[in-house]
Structure 1
Amino acid sequence: MLCIAASYGFAQTTDSTKTTTDTVVTKKGLKIRFGLGNDAPYVSTYDTTTTITHSKAPGFSFGITFSRIDLGFATLLDHGSFTLSPKNQFLSYRQAKTANFGFDVVQFGYRFNSAFKIYVAGGFDWTNIRLRKDITIQRNAPVLTYTQDSIHYSKNRFSSSYLRIPLAFYYRSHEDSRGNYFRLVAGPEFGILLNGRVKQISEENGKQKFDDDYHFAKLRKGIFIRMGYGIMGIYAKYYFNDMFENSPDQQGLKNFSFGLTLGF
C-alpha cells in the first residue's frame, strides 16, 4: 500500500497533452402559463440532460514515475516444458518462493487520443529463484556449474537483475460511472543485465552473498501484456532468448513470469 501511495504521491510528469471537458446541459422542469387566445393556459414539461465528456488532446509526454509495479511468480520453461531436463535438475526450485518483481521509473510517449497512446519506459526487474538443493552456483566458471555442499541452507536464492525497457501500446476504454476504465497494454520488452547473485543462509556460515554474471543473458528480448480495471491488473511476460548464454547444457531454458500489476 505504501508503494501505491508513493507512486501517486511522488510521480512527477511533464505532459504536453491537455485535458478538455465538454459539457452539454438541458434543463428539466415544469412550465405553467395563464392567458387568453394564443396565450391560453397550458402546462408543459422539459427535460434536463447533462453530458460531461473528458478528452485529451494529442501530444508528447515525458516524466519521472513510479508505476507498473509487477509482483508475481517466475517459472522456468525447459524446451517448452515445466519439467526440468536431467541437465538442469540442479536448478530445481520452489515455485511458491520463486518470484518476479519490477517497476518503471521513467517514460516517454505520445498520445493519439484519450483511448490510445504509445510509450517507451525504463525500469528495473528482478527474478529470484529459490533453489531446493544445497548447492552453490560457481562464479567465474566457463559454463554454468555448481558444487554440492555438505551443509543445509535455509535459504538458497539464485537471482538476476535487469534494466528493463518496454515499448508499450496502450489502450483504455471510456470511463464508467465510477471514473474507472479497462486498460490493455502490450508490446516488446528488452532487458540489459545488471547483476547476478547467489544469496545463502545457513547455521554454519550465516548469511552469504556472491555476485557474478553467472552466464545470465546480457541482453534479453521478450513480450509482455498487462490488463486490468482501475489501478490493479494482471500481467504476463515471456522471453524468447535463453536465460543463460555460453552454457550449452542450458540451451532452451527460458523464463516466463506472471502475476499482479499495480499503478498502470
Structure 2
Amino acid sequence: MKHLILKAVMVSVLTFLAAGSLKAQDENVKDSVKRKKFEINYGVGIAIGEKKDSTGKVDQNKGRFIGGVTFTRLDIGLTKLVDNGSLSLSAANNFLDYKPWKTSTVSFDILQMGYRFNSHFKVYLAGGFDWTHIRLDQNITIKKNAPILDYDVITDATFSKNRFSASYVHFPLNFELRTKENNHGKRFRFVFGPEVAFLLDGKVKQISEKYGKVKVNDDYHFTPFRYGGTVRVGYGGLGLFAKYYANDMFDTDAQKGLKNMSFGLTFGLN
C-alpha cells in the first residue's frame, strides 16, 4: 500500500509541475512577440528576465531563471552490479548473475528548473524517470511478495528472456560548465551533481515456449529511496555519462552492500 501511495504522490507532483509549465507556456506565448522570454531546446523552456544587448540579442552573460517542460538527457547504457566493492557477485547474490551486455539502464528528464548565471555556468533541478533492466542468466524466477529477496529454480521451462527490472522517478540536481561556442555553434559541456529517486515499481518479465510472455509486478525489495551522483561530458548534444548509487539496491540484509552503477551515451545534452 505504501508503494501505491508513493507512486500516486510522485506521479501527481510531476503532472502538477508539467501542467504548471504548460500553463505558463500558454500565457507567455501571447506576449512572446513583445517580451521574447522563451528558450526552446529539445522541448519547451521558459527564461525569465532575459537581458538584451544593443543589437537586440539575448545577453548570454546576464543571469536568468530557466525552466519548463523538456525532453533532455536521454541516457542509454550498461548497468553493473557492485557487490561490496567487487564486480563479482558473492555466494549470497549469485542467483542475480546477469548477462553483462544485456543488463542496461534508460533514463530521461521531462522537467527542469534552475538559474543560468552566464553562458558558461548554470544550475538546475530536473525531474524524470529511470529504469534498470537486469537480464538474469539463470533459469529462475524471483518470488513475488516474499519476506526476503528469494527465487525458485524453474525446471519445466527455459527462458529465452528473463528480465528483472526497477523503475524510479528521479530528481537530479545538475551543475553544468560549458565552453564558448565554436564556429559550428557547438560547445563542450561538463555536468555533475547528486540525484535522489523514489521507487515506482519492480517487474519480472519472462519469455518461454511453455508459458509464453509473463509479466509480474512487485516491489521485489528494491530500495524505495535511492541516492547517488552523475557525471556527464559531452560535445554539442551528445555525451557520455556515468552514474553511481551510494545506497544498496535492495532493502534486505542478505543483499547488504550490493549497489549498482551505470555508464553509456547521453542524447540531448542540454
| TM-score calculated relative to the size of structure 2 | 0.81
Aligned twin of 2:62: 57
CA distance in 2, matches of 1:157, 1:79: 23
Aligned twin of 1:77: 82
Aligned twin of 1:93: 98
CA contact (8 A) 2:51 2:58 kept: no
Aligned pairs for 1:89-238 (under 5 A) are 89-150=94-155, 151-238=157-244
By how many angstroms is 1:106 displaced? 0.3
Residue 50 (structure 2) aligned to one of 18, 24, 30: 18
Cα RMSD over matched residues?
1.7
Q: Which runs of 5+ in 1 are unaligned?
A: 1-7, 24-51
Larger radius of gyration: 1
CA contact (8 A) 1:20 1:56 kept: no
CA distance in 1, matches of 2:169, 2:43: 20
Greater fraction helix: 2
CA contact (8 A) 2:42 2:268 kept: no
- CA deviation string 1:75-111 (max 9, x = no partner): 0000111100011110000010001000000011011
Q: Which amino acid aligns with 1:218?
A: P
Identity of aligned residues (%): 50
Aligned twin of 1:249: 254
Aligned residues: 228
Aligned twin of 2:5: none
CA distance in 2, matches of 1:248, 1:81: 18
Displaced runs of 4 or more, over 6 A? none
CA contact (8 A) 1:18 1:56 kept: no
| TM-score calculated relative to the size of structure 1 | 0.83
CA distance in 1, matches of 2:191, 2:95: 36
Alignment partner of 1:250: what SS?
A: coil
CA distance in 2, matches of 1:96, 1:64: 33
CA distance in 1, matches of 2:238, 2:266: 6
CA distance in 1, matches of 2:214, 2:95: 20
By how many angstroms is 1:114 displaced? 1.1
